[in-house]
Amino acid sequence: MTITITAFEKSPDGGKGLARDTRVRWALEEVGEPYTVRLLSFATMKEPAHLALHPFGQIPTYEEGDLVLFETGAIVLHIAQRHAGLLPDDANARARAIAWMFAAVNTVEPPILDLVNARLFEREKPWGEARLPLVEGRVRGRLKQLSARLKDAEWLDGAFSAGDLMMASVLLRLRASGILDEFPNLAAYVARGEARPAYKRAFAAQLAINAG
Ligand code: GTB
């Protein structure tokens, strides 16, 4: 069945892989599923046709026959549950990989998003500069815990899984801040994710749209 995802017609990052369709593309590439992409402008995302697919008027969405999904965590989990390669066979290991997916979007991503907002959109506010160290401190605190758990391991829990795919995708957003490099094992972990052929294909596909 044909899979169609949505993505930015013109991503604000110019195609550096930071928009969230990249993680969905990455999952599809890991499992070898072909997909097509429908590109949307910011205005189109808020129109009724797209709001019927995504209640918050965002990208990405995922369509496969009668199934329509939004939220990258749910989309990647769906892909991982239906195709081999992103979740372990052992039931307990599978549950732990899913826990790492939730940790990525629910525990690690929120302080990172707060930092992105603080740096890009709130700096000029009267309280912007004063709040920044607090927000950076929260990110560092979370990364310190993650770094301590990962240690020198290649991936978070055994073989590469959808948990690593989501965690590396979330951490990628931090690179420009320099904070990721303060944790060499996490920087190396993200680099290992980016070195995967499936990630490279996903990145190239979204870059091709934005480079044009
Ligand atoms: N929790 C949702 C998910 O994981 O699917 C979040 C989806 C989301 O935030 N989508 C963003 C969106 O559609 C695109 S990814 N925004 C438009 C809107 O809300 O109107 C966020 C994003 C956008 C741009 C960059 N960038 O250019 O660096 C990075 C990340």
The pLDDT of residue 212: 65
Annotated domain spans of the chain: 3-85+198-211, 91-196
Alpha carbon nearest to ligand 1 atom 3, residue:
71
State whether the beta carbon of 157 lies less than 6 angstroms from ligand 1: no
**Using alpha carbons only, what angle is made at residue 87 by residues 105 and 76, rounded to the nearest 5 degrees?**
40
What's the CATH architecture for 91-196? Up-down Bundle (1.20)
Atom of ligand 1 nearest to the CA of 12: 27
What is d(CA 22, CA 203) in angstroms, rounded to the nearest whole number? 6
The pLDDT of residue 1: 85
User: How far from 192 is each of 29, 143, 197, CA to CA, in Å?
Assistant: 16, 17, 10
Give 90's DSSP letter. S
Counting as low any pLDDT under 50, the low residues of the chain are none
Q: Do domains 3-85+198-211 and 91-196 have the same CATH topology?
A: no
Probe residue for ligand 1, chosen from 20, 115, 165, 175 as the CB with the greatest number of ligand atoms within 8 Å: 20
State whether the beta carbon of 18 lies less than 6 angstroms from ligand 1: yes
What is d(CA 204, CA 187) in angstroms, rounded to the nearest whole number? 21
Tokens of 105: 């979007």
CA nearest neighbour of 27 among 77, 64, 65: 77
Q: Give yes or no for a cis peptide into 12 (omega within 30° of 0).
A: no
Residue type at 212? G
What is d(CA 171, CA 194) in angstroms, rounded to the nearest whole number? 11
17 contact partners, CB below 8 Å, separation of at least 6? 172, 202, 203, 206, 207
Question: pTM value?
Answer: 0.98
CB 33, CB 83: distance < 8 Å: yes
**CATH hierarchy code of domain 3-85+198-211:** 3.40.30.10
118 contact partners, CB below 8 Å, separation of at least 6? 128, 131, 132, 135
Q: Give 59 Cα–ligand 1 centroid separation in angstroms.
A: 6
The pLDDT of residue 202: 98
The pLDDT of residue 211: 84
